[in-house]
């Protein structure tokens, strides 16, 4: 049976690379993106390489878009093996927490924290024993480790995403669905910038491993480079 994966924010960056790597492993991938033009183009690019990819319109900040994506998905598939909550924004890289704009605070938390939670809530009916949910977090949210003054609300949103990960891991444990958070490292994308140390292939590596190769019993943890790191 063909395995299925949904990756949010898969039109570019790490999300697109994760979609490619999973498709190369035989998955039918759903390239979820908020923008139809770039989402369709990204799915088409994978299909041109002989991979199984379809576009799924999904804005993680828009509950009706998430519901419509679910309706579209269940029209074609009845089970979801892998869900990668990758979509994210970084608006406050060089800002001071004391001067943060309320709108930026809300949109960062809505995209990076609430969005992944709503996506899992909506798609939970098609998750099954052995499904894997991967939340793409960041070392910036590592409250016991590296937190500094860097990107305050982005960092807070990722700390909260880690808490969402723990909650979901417990809530879905009885269904034997694994839920993990992962830091991809500093990656050369629009968000990471050209000076970042890692390629998108390296950034996608542990996400794809959690989706495919990690023991299914691993859940409720935070990972980087296939190792557990502190919250």
- Give residues in contact with ligand NAP (CB under 6 A): 8-9, 11-15, 33-35, 38, 59-61, 86-89, 111, 136, 138, 183-184, 186-187, 189-192, 196
Burial class of residue 174 (count of CB atoms within 10 Å of its CB; 0-12, 13-18, 19+): exposed
Q: How far is the CB of 130 from ligand NAP (least distance, A)?
A: 25
150 is catalytic: no
Question: Which DSSP category does 23 fall into?
Answer: H
Q: Which is nearer to ligand NAP, 62 or 176 (CB)?
A: 62
Name which of 177 and 207 has its Cβ closer to ligand NAP. Answer: 207
Task: Return d(Cα 8, Cα 119) in angstroms, integer.
Answer: 9
Of 22 and 60, the one with the shorter C-beta distance to ligand NAP is 60
Taking the C-alpha atoms of residue 117 and residue 47, their distance in angstroms, rounded to an integer, is 29
Cβ atoms 59, 85 nearer than 8 A:
no
Q: What does the angle CA 26 – CA 43 – CA 158 come to, to the nearest 5 degrees?
A: 85
Catalytic residue among 30, 55, 123, 154: 154
Q: Which residues are catalytic?
A: 154
């Amino acid at each position: 049976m063909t395995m299925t994966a949904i990756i949010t924010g898969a039109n570019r960056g790490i999300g697109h690379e994760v979609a490619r790597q999973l498709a190369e492993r035989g998955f039918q991938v759903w390239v979820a993106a908020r923008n139809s033009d770039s989402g369709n183009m990204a799915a088409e690019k994978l299909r041109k390489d002989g991979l199984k990819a379809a576009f799924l319109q999904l804005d993680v900040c828009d509950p009706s878009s998430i519901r419509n994506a679910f309706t579209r998905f269940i029209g074609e598939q009845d089970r979801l093996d892998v869900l990668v909550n990758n979509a994210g924004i970084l608006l406050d890289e060089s800002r001071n927490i004391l001067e943060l704009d309320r709108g930026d605070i809300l949109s960062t938390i809505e995209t990076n924290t609430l969005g992944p939670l709503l996506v899992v809530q909506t798609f939970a009916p098609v998750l099954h024993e052995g499904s894997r949910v991967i939340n793409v977090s960041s070392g910036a949210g590592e409250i016991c480790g590296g937190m500094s003054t860097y990107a305050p609300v982005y960092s807070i949103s990722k700390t909260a995403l880690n808490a969402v990960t723990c909650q979901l891991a417990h809530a879905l444990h009885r269904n034997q669905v694994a839920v993990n958070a992962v830091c991809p490292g500093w990656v050369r994308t629009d968000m990471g910038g050209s000076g970042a140390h890692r390629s998108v292939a390296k950034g996608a590596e542990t996400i794809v491993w959690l989706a495919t190769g990690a023991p299914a019993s691993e859940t409720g943890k935070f990972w980087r480079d296939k190792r557990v790191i502190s919250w």
